[in-house]
A = this chain, B = another copy of it.
Amino acid sequence: MAKDDSAAPKLTINDIARLAGVSKKTVSRVINRSPLLNRETRDRVEKIILDTGYVPNPQARALALGRNFLIGLVYDNPNAQMVLSMQRGILEALRGTEFELVVRPVDRGSGAVMDDILGFVIRQRLFGVIVLPPLSESDALAQLLDEAGCRYVRMGSALLDDNEHMVASNDREAVADAVRHLIAQGHQRIGLIAGPHGFRSAKERREGFEMALSEAGISLPRSFIADGEYTFESGIAASENLFALSPPPTAIFASNDEMAAGVLYAARLRGIDVPEQLSIIGFDDTPLTTRVWPPLTTVRWPIAAMGRSAALKLIGTAVGDQGEASEPSLFSSTLIRRSSVAPPPAS
């Protein structure tokens, strides 16, 4: 069966040309879908290609074209689940194409990030890169990429680039919805655990929070907003600050699930019942939300679908699908209601 090609598909374009009785160039045209080709010739060559199982050598193509068929995924993100879901979505879009995915985690703090990334895309002659937040928020990086002649698509929490360069979720509106849900349940004293400064997502989510409150005519002191770092531990620490308020909030929106889990943990340490005495909503819909007790209400954003969209935008031009135009840029999130939200205590 796979005996022949397992050892080595030493078939080259020359072999096909000879077998088909045409020149290399004609075969090359078939491969690259050149429009000016005799229907009959094309069919004949395609049949040979199919029969022999010939696959063009990617390295040779890369050299001749001056460009590789590799998509780079650049990120500096602590959230494993997010990164892997993104990879999954991208790979779904790449499946069946000649493209492969090369991963590149970088160190945001290192100072040489830009040079690192740039060296990477230039050396490898990448077809394009997908950049994950928060790295994607850097306009400087986008400009550098552009100057280097490297296609790119940025993932983010807001539209901060052209349609063809951006895939975004609408965090602000999603959070506003979540907080409205809390308000609808009767909550008035709602705390926020914000994400770290410098993260666009943190800003968007915070604004969504404030938007919902002001809509409802609720005005809260600044102390109801606690700083977090998107980590479990910071969620615990921020909770302590919120619990110390008097009266304390009856509900907390944490800007991501890790911190929401921290709130839950802190509440348990304090003997606060969730959701009876305290409601909690997180963001991301990680698996964690269903593992803890009670299962957390959270906001789900379509990570894999966004990854797929980003990849399609990137390779769309190649496939000739005019993909960039048709691929959606703004994805909306949904509130996933589980068991961590209830009306506030009567008190």
Residues of A within 8 A of B (CB): 2, 5-9, 55, 57-60, 62-63, 68, 70, 80-81, 83-85, 87-88, 91, 100-105, 114-115, 118-119, 122-125, 144, 147-149, 232, 258, 261, 264-265, 268, 287-288, 290-293
Contact = CB atoms under 8 A, between A and B. Distances in A.
A68 B80 CA distance: 28
A2 B62 CA distance: 25
A87 B103 contact: yes
Given A60-B63, A91-B105, A103-B103, 6 more contacts: A8-B122, A80-B81, A80-B85, A87-B105, A268-B293, A293-B293
Nearest to A267: B293
Nearest to A63: B59
A292 B292 contact: yes
Contacts of A125: 57-59
A8 to B, nearest CB: 7
A288 B290 contact: no
Contact of A148 (B6, B149, B264): B6
Contact of A291 (B5, B70, B232): B232
Given A59-B62, A101-B103, A144 B6 contact: yes
A6 B88 CA distance: 30
B103 A91 contact: yes
Contact of A122 (B9, B100, B122): B9
A123 B96 CA distance: 13
A68 B261 CA distance: 44
Given A81-B80, A91-B103, A149-B8, A115 B2 contact: yes
A59 B55 contact: no
A101 B74 CA distance: 12
Contacts of A57: 63, 125
A58 B124 contact: yes
Nearest to A61: B59
Contact of A68 (B2, B59, B147, B268): B59
12 contacts: A2-B115, A5-B122, A59-B63, A59-B125, A70-B102, A80-B81, A80-B85, A100-B124, A101-B102, A103-B103, A268-B293, A292-B292
Contacts of A102: 70, 100-103
A320 to B, nearest CB: 22
A124 B57 CA distance: 8
Given A8-B148, A58-B123, A63-B59, A84 B80 contact: yes
A59 B63 CA distance: 5
B7 A147 contact: yes
A6 B115 CA distance: 8
A148 B291 CA distance: 43
A287 B287 CA distance: 11
Name the residue in A91, A148, A232 with the highest tally of chain B Cβ atoms < 10 Å from its Cβ.
Answer: A148
Contacts of A87: 103, 105
A151 to B, nearest CB: 15
Nearest to A9: B122
A284 B65 CA distance: 45
Contacts of A2: 114-115, 118
Nearest to A269: B293
Nearest to A69: B124
